[in-house]
Amino acid sequence: MEKIIITAAVNSGTTLRRKNPNISYTPEEVVLDVSNLDEARKAMGLDFERAVV
């Protein structure tokens, strides 16, 4: 299983939360969303390479 570490300030889940954009994500939900790296990159507007450790 691939593991990544992302440090980010998350103040709103408006781009990730589809049903109710006014509800912010909890850290656990952010971790779950990051399990799909391609979708997470698109949702956060990030362009980064995978780091192999």
Q: What's the average pLDDT block by block, 10 residues per block, for the chain (53 residues)?
A: 57 49 60 62 60 48
**Residue 13 neighbours by CB distance under 10 Å:** 19
CA–CA separation, 53 and 46 (whole Å): 20
Structural contact between residues 41 and 50, judged by C-beta atoms closer than 8 angstroms: no
Number of domains observed in the structure of the chain: 1
pLDDT of residue 34: 56
Q: Which two tokens stand for residue 20?
A: 């109710």
Q: Give the range of the structural domain holding residue 52, as residue numbers without chain letter.
A: 1-53
The amino acid at 35:
S
pLDDT of residue 44: 63
pLDDT of residue 15: 45
Which has the closest alpha carbon to 24: 33, 7, 48? Answer: 33
pLDDT of residue 12: 46
For the question of whether the overall pTM of this predicted structure is more than 0.95, the answer is: no
